[in-house]
Chains A and B, each alone.
Chain A
Amino acid sequence: MGEFFSKLLDTSDFPARWHCGNWSDGHGWLHIASDVAVFLAYMAIPIVLAFFIIRRRDLPFPRIFWMFVAFIAFCGLSHLVEAYIFWNPIYRVSAVLKLFTAVASWATVAGLLRVMPRAVYWRSPEQLEREVEARTRELEDNRAELHRVNLDLTHANEDLQQFARFISHDLQSPLRAIGAFVDILRERLDDSMEQEDVEYAEHITGGVERMKALLQDLLLYTRTERTGRMEWIDLGSVTRSLVEGIQVASAGTSPTVEYGDLPRVFAHEVGIRQVLQNLVENAVKFSGSSPARIHISGRTTEEAWEIAVRDEGIGLDTRYAKRIFEPFQRLHLREEYEGTGIGLSIVRKIVQIHGGEIHVESSPGQGATFTFTIARPTDNDTSGGSA
C-alpha cells in the first residue's frame, strides 16, 4: 500500500495507452475526443448546479444537490484522466480518482434513498399555489360569513336596546296610569268601600308594584352586557370595599364576611363587583335566623380563576340548583323572601361574559356555596396595551 502511494505519479511500470495495443489514429482520437467532450459537459453541469444551489436559498434538500455536484465532477475528471493516459499512463492516479468517484456516487445513492420518502410528498409550486388559492377562497368565505354574523349581532343589539327603551318607557306608562287611577278611586270611594273592595284594590296596587319591580329588573338584566374594558383588578381590594359598604349599610345585624387571599384577575371591574355583591347579598338574604356568616375564597387553575362564596344559611334543594340562575326564577313565596329573582341571573350573565361558569352546591339547612370562574386570558388578550 505504501509503495502504491509513493509511486502514485510514477508511470514507469506501464506503457502509455497509444503504445499499448494496435490503435488506429481514428480509433484512438475517437476515445480521446469523446472523453474530453464528456469531461467538459460533466464539469459544466456541476458549475451550473452549484450556481443554482447558491442562488436558490429555498431549494429543498440542498445537500443532495451538492452530492450531485461532487459525483458528476468526479465522473468528469475520470474521463479527462482516461484521455490523458493515451500519453501519460498515470494508472495509479486514475484508480484513486475512480475510488473517489465510486464513494461520491454511493454517497449520493444513500442520500437519495434517505430523502426519497420526503421528496415524494414534496409539493410542487403549482400544488402550493392551488392550495393557497383554496385557502384564500375559504378565508374570503369566512370573512363574508363573519361580516354577516356581525351585522346580525348589530341588529340584535339594536333590537335589544330598543327593547330596553320599550321596557323603560312604553310599558311603564300604562302601569303608572293603572296605579294612579286606582289610588284616586280608593280615595274617592274611601267611605263607601266594603272590606272586600279594599282588598281587591290592594291586589291591584300590589300587582302594579310587582310589575314595576319586574320591569325594572328586566331592564337591569337586559342592560347587563359587555361594556367597559377588561383590566387587571385586585379581587382582594374589590371585596374589601364591598364588605365595608355592606357593614356600613347594615349596622347592627352586620353580616360577617371572611376572605382569604384573592387573586388578581383580568376582568370588568364593575361586572365582577356586581357578581360579588349579588352573591353576598343573596347569602345575607337567605341567612336564616342568625346573622349571615360568609366566606369568600379564590384559587387559580390553569385555565381560570375560581371564586367561591360560601354561606351557612338556609341552603336549597339541589333539584332546583340550575333553575335559580334563570331570570325571575324563585324558590320561595313572595311573602317569605322579597325580590323578583333577577339577582343570580345577572350574576350568571356577567360570569358568562367573562368566559366563566357558575354553579351552586348546597343542601337544605346546610348553607350554600356558589362557585364561579373567570377565564384566564391568553397573552394576546392582555398585551393589547391600554385598549
Chain B
Amino acid sequence: MKIIPSVLLVDDDVSDLVLCELTLGRTKRFPRTFRARTGEQVLALFTRAAQSSDPPPEPFPPDLMFVDVHMPAMTGLELVDELLRLRTAAIVPVLPPIVMLSASLDPREEARAVAHPAVLEYMAKPMRVDAANRLADRLGREIGS
C-alpha cells in the first residue's frame, strides 16, 4: 500500500479542516496531517524552514498540500502564486504537490486553478474517500503491506 507520510492542510474554516482530516484518516494512508489557517502562516512556515540551518521540525516539509481556494485576505491561488515565486527565486528548495479545494460551483474557478503551473489538481469540497485514495496511489510511497 502506498502512503503519503506528511500532509499540510490549509483552510480558514475549522469545520472543513476537521472534515478533511476525517476523510484522510479513514483511508489510513495519510498518517500525519498538520494545519495552517491562512496563506500568511504557510508562507511563514516555508520561509522560516528555508532560512533556518537546522533541519525543519517534523512533519515539515509536507509531501502534499491541500489548499482552500477561498480564504480571507490571501486567497488559495494567491498563496500558490507566492509559493511558486519563492521556488523560482530559489528561496524555497522544493514545493510539494498542491491540491486545491473549493466548495464553489463556479466552473471558471476550477479552470483557473488547474491552469496554474504549481497546482496538481482541483477537488470539490467535501473531499471523498476514493479521491483521497486515488491521490495516495498516484503520489504515495510504497511501504510494506
Contact = CB atoms under 8 A, between A and B. Distances in A.
Interface string B16-48: 001000000000000000000110000000000
A341 B71 CA distance: 12
17 contacts: A199-B18, A203-B15, A206-B15, A207-B15, A317-B73, A320-B73, A330-B72, A330-B73, A331-B72, A331-B73, A332-B72, A332-B73, A333-B37, A333-B38, A334-B12, A334-B13, A341-B72
Question: DSSP majority for the B interface?
Answer: loop
A199 to B, nearest CB: 8
B27 to A, nearest CB: 18
Interface string A298-334: 0000000000000000000100100000000111111
A385 B15 CA distance: 56
Contact of A203 (B18, B37, B72): B18
Nearest to A203: B15
A203 B21 CA distance: 14
Contacts of B12: 333-334
Interface residues of B, number: 9
A206 B15 CA distance: 9
Interface residues of A, number: 14
Given A206-B15, A333-B38, 19 more contacts: A200-B18, A203-B14, A203-B15, A203-B18, A207-B15, A317-B73, A320-B73, A329-B72, A330-B72, A330-B73, A331-B72, A331-B73, A332-B72, A332-B73, A333-B12, A333-B37, A333-B72, A334-B12, A341-B72
Q: Which of B12, B15, B18, B37 has the most CB of A within 10 A?
A: B15
Contacts of A333: 12, 37-38, 72
A341 B38 CA distance: 17
A332 to B, nearest CB: 6
A313 to B, nearest CB: 16
Interface string B65-81: 00000001100000000
Interface in A326-369: 329-334, 341
Contacts of A203: 14-15, 18
